[in-house]
Protein backbone atom coordinates (compact mmCIF):
# COMPACT_ATOMS: atom_id res chain seq x y z
CA UNK A 1 0.00 0.00 0.00
CA UNK A 2 2.87 2.38 0.88
CA UNK A 3 4.40 1.83 -2.59
CA UNK A 4 1.14 2.91 -4.27
CA UNK A 5 0.98 6.11 -2.20
CA UNK A 6 4.60 6.98 -3.03
CA UNK A 7 4.01 6.19 -6.72
CA UNK A 8 0.87 8.35 -6.75
CA UNK A 9 2.72 11.21 -5.05
CA UNK A 10 5.52 11.01 -7.61
CA UNK A 11 3.02 11.06 -10.49
CA UNK A 12 1.16 14.03 -9.02
CA UNK A 13 4.44 15.89 -8.47
CA UNK A 14 5.60 15.17 -12.01
CA UNK A 15 2.26 16.34 -13.40
CA UNK A 16 2.45 19.58 -11.42
CA UNK A 17 6.02 20.17 -12.61
CA UNK A 18 4.99 19.62 -16.24
CA UNK A 19 2.06 22.00 -15.85
CA UNK A 20 4.36 24.66 -14.40
CA UNK A 21 6.88 24.29 -17.24
CA UNK A 22 4.14 24.35 -19.87
CA UNK A 23 2.48 27.38 -18.32
CA UNK A 24 5.75 29.30 -18.11
CA UNK A 25 6.91 28.53 -21.65
CA UNK A 26 6.38 31.56 -23.89
CA UNK A 27 4.06 31.02 -26.81
CA UNK A 28 5.57 31.69 -30.21
CA UNK A 29 4.06 34.85 -31.58
CA UNK A 30 2.99 35.08 -35.19
CA UNK A 31 5.48 36.77 -37.51
CA UNK A 32 4.84 40.42 -38.36
CA UNK A 33 2.61 40.88 -41.41
CA UNK A 34 5.52 42.13 -43.54
CA UNK A 35 7.80 39.21 -42.63
CA UNK A 36 8.45 36.41 -45.07
CA UNK A 37 9.58 33.28 -43.24
CA UNK A 38 12.23 31.10 -44.81
CA UNK A 39 12.56 27.33 -44.93
CA UNK A 40 15.89 25.97 -43.69
CA UNK A 41 17.50 23.28 -45.82
CA UNK A 42 19.70 20.42 -44.64
CA UNK A 43 22.74 22.74 -44.52
CA UNK A 44 20.80 25.26 -42.37
CA UNK A 45 20.64 27.69 -45.31
CA UNK A 46 17.63 29.98 -45.58
CA UNK A 47 15.59 29.42 -48.73
CA UNK A 48 12.55 31.18 -50.14
CA UNK A 49 10.43 29.45 -52.78
CA UNK A 50 13.00 26.70 -53.47
CA UNK A 51 12.63 24.69 -56.68
CA UNK A 52 13.64 21.48 -54.88
CA UNK A 53 13.93 20.42 -51.25
CA UNK A 54 15.61 17.43 -49.61
CA UNK A 55 13.43 15.77 -46.98
CA UNK A 56 15.79 12.93 -46.01
CA UNK A 57 18.97 14.80 -45.05
CA UNK A 58 20.75 11.70 -43.76
CA UNK A 59 20.50 9.46 -46.80
CA UNK A 60 18.84 11.43 -49.61
CA UNK A 61 16.11 8.82 -50.09
CA UNK A 62 13.26 11.37 -50.24
CA UNK A 63 13.24 14.77 -51.93
CA UNK A 64 10.81 17.20 -53.52
CA UNK A 65 11.32 18.43 -57.09
CA UNK A 66 9.45 20.75 -59.46
CA UNK A 67 8.16 22.90 -56.61
CA UNK A 68 5.78 25.56 -58.00
CA UNK A 69 4.75 27.99 -55.26
CA UNK A 70 1.25 29.45 -55.43
CA UNK A 71 1.69 31.36 -52.18
CA UNK A 72 4.31 32.38 -49.62
CA UNK A 73 2.92 34.42 -46.74
CA UNK A 74 3.90 35.13 -43.12
CA UNK A 75 1.78 32.18 -41.92
CA UNK A 76 2.23 29.51 -44.58
CA UNK A 77 3.46 28.62 -48.05
CA UNK A 78 1.85 26.25 -50.57
CA UNK A 79 3.25 24.53 -53.67
CA UNK A 80 2.69 21.65 -56.03
CA UNK A 81 5.60 19.23 -56.45
CA UNK A 82 6.87 15.78 -57.30
CA UNK A 83 7.92 13.76 -54.27
CA UNK A 84 10.76 11.43 -55.25
CA UNK A 85 10.83 8.46 -52.86
CA UNK A 86 13.25 5.52 -52.83
CA UNK A 87 11.36 2.24 -52.37
CA UNK A 88 14.48 0.74 -50.68
CA UNK A 89 13.75 -2.67 -52.21
CA UNK A 90 15.50 -4.96 -51.61
CA UNK A 91 17.53 -2.35 -49.66
CA UNK A 92 18.00 1.40 -50.12
CA UNK A 93 21.26 1.29 -52.10
CA UNK A 94 19.61 -1.04 -54.64
CA UNK A 95 16.20 0.62 -54.50
CA UNK A 96 14.47 2.69 -57.16
CA UNK A 97 13.03 6.18 -56.95
CA UNK A 98 9.36 6.71 -57.73
CA UNK A 99 7.73 10.09 -58.27
CA UNK A 100 4.40 11.05 -56.72
CA UNK A 101 2.32 14.13 -57.44
CA UNK A 102 2.00 16.14 -54.24
CA UNK A 103 0.86 19.36 -52.64
CA UNK A 104 3.30 20.81 -50.12
CA UNK A 105 2.46 23.15 -47.25
CA UNK A 106 4.92 24.93 -44.98
CA UNK A 107 3.57 26.39 -41.75
CA UNK A 108 4.10 26.90 -38.01
CA UNK A 109 6.54 29.81 -38.41
CA UNK A 110 8.77 30.58 -35.44
CA UNK A 111 11.45 33.13 -34.72
CA UNK A 112 14.81 31.93 -36.06
CA UNK A 113 17.22 31.72 -33.09
CA UNK A 114 20.34 33.79 -33.61
CA UNK A 115 18.77 35.74 -36.49
CA UNK A 116 16.88 38.69 -34.99
CA UNK A 117 13.74 39.61 -36.89
CA UNK A 118 13.86 36.51 -39.10
CA UNK A 119 11.35 33.67 -39.06
CA UNK A 120 11.41 30.11 -40.39
CA UNK A 121 8.76 27.50 -41.05
CA UNK A 122 8.92 24.54 -38.66
CA UNK A 123 6.48 22.09 -40.28
CA UNK A 124 6.12 20.69 -43.79
CA UNK A 125 3.08 18.66 -44.85
CA UNK A 126 3.00 16.57 -48.03
CA UNK A 127 -0.45 15.67 -49.37
CA UNK A 128 -0.77 13.05 -52.10
CA UNK A 129 -3.98 13.64 -54.11
CA UNK A 130 -3.66 10.30 -55.94
CA UNK A 131 -1.04 7.57 -55.50
CA UNK A 132 1.22 7.68 -52.46
CA UNK A 133 4.33 5.78 -51.35
CA UNK A 134 3.80 2.36 -49.79
CA UNK A 135 3.56 2.53 -46.03
CA UNK A 136 2.40 6.15 -45.92
CA UNK A 137 -0.98 7.78 -45.82
CA UNK A 138 -2.26 10.52 -48.09
CA UNK A 139 -0.80 13.13 -45.72
CA UNK A 140 2.68 13.04 -44.21
CA UNK A 141 3.82 15.68 -41.70
CA UNK A 142 7.50 16.47 -41.23
CA UNK A 143 8.79 18.60 -38.35
CA UNK A 144 11.50 20.84 -39.79
CA UNK A 145 14.88 21.54 -38.28
CA UNK A 146 16.24 24.91 -37.22
| Mean pLDDT in consecutive groups of 10 residues from the start of the chain, 146 residues | 38 38 45 86 97 96 99 97 97 97 98 95 98 96 92
Q: Which residues pair with 86 in a beta bridge?
A: 97
Residue 24 lies in a domain: no
Residue 44 lies in a domain: yes
The whole-number pLDDT of residue 29 equals 63
Overall number of domains in the chain? 1
User: pTM score, two decimals?
Assistant: 0.78
Backbone angles phi, psi at 18, to 5 degrees: -65, -40
Residue 1 lies in a domain: no
The whole-number pLDDT of residue 28 equals 52
The secondary structure element, H or E, covering residue 4 is helix 2-24
Q: In what order do the strands lie in the sheet with 139-143?
A: 53-54, 62-72, 77-86, 97-111, 119-127, 139-143
Residues of the domain holding 74:
30-143
The whole-number pLDDT of residue 108 equals 97
Residue 18 lies in a domain: no
Quick one: DSSP state of residue 125? E
Residue 13 lies in a domain: no
Residue 6 lies in a domain: no
Residue 123 lies in a domain: yes
Residue 76 lies in a domain: yes
Amino acid sequence: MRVRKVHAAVLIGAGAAMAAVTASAPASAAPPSGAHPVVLDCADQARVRPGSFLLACGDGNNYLTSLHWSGWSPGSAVATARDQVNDCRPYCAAGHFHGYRATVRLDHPKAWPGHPGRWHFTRLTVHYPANHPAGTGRDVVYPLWG
